[in-house]
Amino acid sequence: MSKIVVGTITANIVVIAIGVAAVIAGVGYGIFADNGQIGAGFLPVFAGSLMTVFAALDLVTTWRGGGGTLEELAAERLGLPTDAALAPAAARTAAAGRATEPAVGSAAAATSEGTAGPAAGGATEPAEQEASTGIGEVDIFGRSQRRRNQILLIVVGATVITVLLVPLLGFIVSFALMLFGISFLVERQKLLTSIIVTVVALAAIYGIFVILLRVPLPQGIFGF
Amino acid sequence: MLENLMLGFQTALTPENLLWCFIGVLMGTIIGLMPGLGSTTGVAILIPLTLAMEPVTALIMLAGIYYGAQYGGTITSVLISTPGEAASVVTTLDGYQMARKGRAGAALAIAAIGSFVAAIISLALLMALAPPFAKLALNFGPVENLAIMILGLITVVSFSGGSLNKGLMMAAAGLLIATVGVAIASGQARFTFGNVNMLGGIPFVEVMIGLFALGEVFYQIRVGAAAPIRAKFRDMVISRNDLKRSGAPIIRGTFIGFLLGCLPGAGSTLASFMSYGIEKRFSPNRDEFGKGAIEGVAAPESANNAAANANFVPTLALGIPGGGTTAVLLGAFTIYGIQPGPLLFENQPELVWGLLVSFFIGNAMLIVLNLPMAPVFAQMLRIPYAYLYPIILLTSFVGAYSVNNNMFSVWLVLIFGVVGYIMKELDLPIAPLVLGLVLGPLFEKSLVQTSALGQGSFGIVLQSPIAVGILIFALALAIGPAIFRKVKPSKKDPALV
């Protein structure tokens, strides 16, 4: 079973659980008022039962290996013949955008570091880009899927920690740390550029939100 | 009509509104061309910035972002074959091939011209159609409104792609989220878990920012960055032959786009796919499709722009969003204290007509901006995502905080960010959830009113022919295609495809 199937089934089960809980809570709130009119619990029960029913149906479909792409379904719904050529082609071209040919990759990576090398222009031409891949492969910076998953976890974690730090350090300082941390430590960008980007971004946010719009961003021990 | 237009021009042409319109379309273009930043995300992140503005100015700017992003999305699709907007996915097919043949300039020029023509035609239609629709809807009571809500929920679900079950499941989840807070029927607190912040309900903007902005950033991190390229712009001039070939596809695309855009939820993505499919089947140059046919750029680009404008027909006339971005815009209406719906044309003529006229102005600005400036915009693609996404995260959190000035909003954004990421990974459609969330309170209100009218019985629904008609139409939309599929399996005949 593929990861996406396991994920979908897990999501379905979670939705069913929430749906059932909503129905139970809704019954508690009272579906109907004393005079027979709609009560506070009606919509929770309604939404909860729909969630339960359709999540269960989706679970069965997923289990049997059903489903299709957006384009196929849209065409089908409108009663058009499914344009089989369209969907895969779209997917392929979209994937070509994250081309993974190592040669192109290094050229592009060079550009990303701020050196506007002419080599990057090469990415427009090569036909081998066509035969590229999507998720699950090495991206243009030569990162594996494993590494990208790691980065995702680190970024989500860093965001949680940043928000937790806001009451202590203040909004501006916490987010300055996050910006610098992500660009320099996680994304391995140049030290100077990382500092400049962080300072400019936070200064702009401070100018717009604190000075112009007078939003009282939480202050920390530094007093701003 | 003329009177209304004059009023609209008076409103839209004030220096302040002109300036914000320009800022909106400029930011829209940039937002549309950044891979992973769509118009929905852009509008959601920027709503907090507009809180201090006049409602009409704010809406002019936010709408500018919406249709500006359609132009920006094209640039990315053509140059790096990575659509910034879902509606631009089909443009990658022929647009990117044209770029590889050194005709990026021509592709972008025809896209801009097609979008502009489509915008002007569809705006004229929008101005002609929305007011009578609204007038019709003015006579609607709670019963008819209830039927309209059901129609809105069903169409969005059935058109929003992916499986019907998933769409309905997410729409129901949106409805459930909308029930958090004080119930209008009885004043009871629901699902607040003793948290004071939840009494007012789950705030809309925070959910949007989380689902769209954060969810997308997390998703992009896992998918990996797109390859930046340097495109060659030999010239933005297109040949007479190009124009001749594109004329009819642009007009066809416009009408397909407008028709689909009028249906709540069908939206611009579907419109662009359909118009591409139709051109591919009937064009005299169909052999060139997929290899850089200019019709393959002109038609879908016109269609998605026309659909974006047509989306405002249900949004303004009925208060039912046409798609994801108009749903967020409707949320913005309520934040400014404006009740969307048929009364809008009566009560706020200045706002409605000012907004509609600003679309003309904004589209004119966009074509002037896009024809000569596309190469400059293309340079934006060279900003590494490594810098871009931390800034998107920062802006999302600051924006969320500034709506209500509390940390609860920040946590909500984070939670819905993770939810949005999981939904993207699992291909669960976000638009129905948003729709459920927007329509939830209105749906409940019309339910309560209907049951009060009928003294506890819903039998009165059957006494309204309009409501019954709308419900039958909704039912046909929901189950019709499924039956159609079963009856005519030959449609899937490979020979036809």
The three-class DSSP label of residue B190 is strand
Q: What is the largest CA-CA distance in chain B?
A: 71
B280 interaction partners in chain A (CB closer than 8 Å) = 83, 86
- Position A25 confidence tier, pLDDT thresholds 50, 70, 90: confident
Predicted confidence at residue B415, as pLDDT, reads 93
Which helix H or strand E contains B398, and what residues bound it?
Answer: helix B385-404
The answer to whether B390 contacts A89, with C-beta atoms less than 8 Å apart, is no
* Burial label, B416 (beta-carbon count in 10 A; 0-12, 13-18, 19+): buried
Predicted confidence at residue B477, as pLDDT, reads: 72
Q: Which residue has the tokens 């659909």?
A: B307
Please state, in angstroms and rounded to a whole number, the distance separating the CA atoms of residues B338 and B295: 41
- Tell me which DSSP letter residue A120 carries: G
Supply the pLDDT for residue A102. 34
Tens digit of pLDDT per residue, chain B (497 long)?
777 778 878 777 888 888 888 988 888 888 887 766 778 888 888 888 888 888 888 888 888 888 888 888 888 777 776 666 667 777 877 877 777 777 777 778 888 888 888 888 988 888 888 888 777 777 777 788 888 888 877 776 665 555 778 888 888 999 999 888 887 777 778 887 777 777 777 888 888 888 888 888 888 888 776 555 555 555 556 777 777 787 888 888 888 888 888 876 556 777 778 788 787 777 777 777 777 777 878 888 888 888 888 888 888 887 777 777 888 888 888 788 887 777 777 787 888 888 888 888 888 888 888 877 777 777 777 777 788 888 888 888 888 888 788 888 899 999 999 999 998 888 888 878 888 888 888 888 888 888 877 776 777 777 778 888 888 888 877 776 555 555 544 433 333 32
How much of chain B, in percent, has pLDDT values that exceed 90?
3
At a CB cut-off of 8 Å and minimum separation 6, what does B244 contact? none
| Interface residue of B33, B34, B163, B206 to substitute, partner A, most A CBs within 10 Å | B163
Q: Which of A:34-73 have CB within 8 Å of B?
A: 35-40, 42-44, 46-48, 50-51, 54-55, 57-58, 61, 66-68, 70-71, 73
Residue B56: other Cβ atoms inside 10 A: 24
CB A107 within 8 A of CB A123: yes
Q: Look-up: residue for tokens 């100015």?
A: B57
Q: Considering only CA atoms, which of A181, A87, A43, A158 is closest in space to residue B276?
A: A87
Contact status of B486 with chain A (Cβ, < 8 Å): no
Spacing of C-alpha B141 from chain mean position: 28
Residue A105 pLDDT exceeds 60: no
ipTM score of the complex? 0.76
pLDDT above 90: residue A33: no
Smallest Cβ distance to B481: which of A77, A167, A208? A77
Question: Residue A161 above 90 pLDDT?
Answer: yes
* Nearest alpha-carbon partner for B21 in B33, B9, B13: B13
Q: Do A205 and B394 touch (CB under 8 A)?
A: yes
B12 vs B360: CA distance, rounded Å? 10
The phi, psi pair for A38, rounded to 5°, reads -60, 135
Q: What is the pLDDT of residue B235?
A: 56
- Tell me the pLDDT band of A72, cut-offs 50, 70 and 90: very low
Which chain B residue is nearest to residue A106, measuring alpha carbons?
B227
Q: Please give the pLDDT value at position B419.
A: 93
Which of B158, B173, B226 is the closest to A98 by Cβ? B226
Q: Where in A53-211 does DSSP place strands (E)?
A: none
Question: How many residues are recorded in chain A?
Answer: 224
A-facing residues of B in 11-70 (CB < 8 A) are 35, 49, 51-52
What is the distance between the alpha carbons of residues B223 and A152, in angstroms, rounded to a whole number? 10
pLDDT digits (tens, 9 = 90+) for B244-296: 787 888 888 888 888 888 876 556 777 778 788 787 777 777 777 777 777 87
pLDDT at position B68: 87
Query: Which residues of chain B lie closer than 8 angstroms to A96, CB-CB?
Result: 81, 96
Rounded-to-integer distance, Cα B170 and Cα B439, Å: 13
Beta bridge partners of B430: none
* Strand segments (E) across A28-154: none
* Poorest-pLDDT segment among A99-108, A147-156, B4-13, B31-40: A99-108
Question: Distance, in angstroms, between A50 CA and closest chain B CA?
Answer: 6
Q: Is A24 on the interface with B (CB under 8 A)?
A: no
Yes or no, beta carbons of A79 and B488 under 8 Å apart: yes
Q: How confident is the model at residue A126 (pLDDT cuts 50, 70, 90)?
A: very low
pLDDT at B173: 92
Of B323, B324, B316, nearest to B263 by C-alpha is B323
Q: Output the pLDDT for position B497.
A: 28
Q: Over 70: is that where the pLDDT of A6 sits?
A: yes
Strand partners, B189: B182
Q: Give Cβ neighbours of residue B381 (< 8 Å, ≥ 6 apart).
A: B33, B34, B35, B75, B76, B79, B80, B228, B229
pLDDT at residue A93 in the model: 41
Q: Is the pLDDT of residue A21 over 70?
A: yes
Tens of pLDDT, residues A191-204: 898 899 999 999 98
Length of chain B: 497
Distance (Å) from the alpha carbon of A47 to chain B's nearest alpha carbon: 5
Residue A96: per-residue pLDDT: 39
Residue A37 zone, left/alpha/beta (φ > 0; ψ -120 to 50; rest): beta
Shortest CA gap A54–chain B (Å): 5
Would the pLDDT of A85 be above 70?
Answer: no
> Does the predicted model carry a pTM greater than 0.90?
no
- Residues B278, B100, A90, A88, CA torsion sign: positive
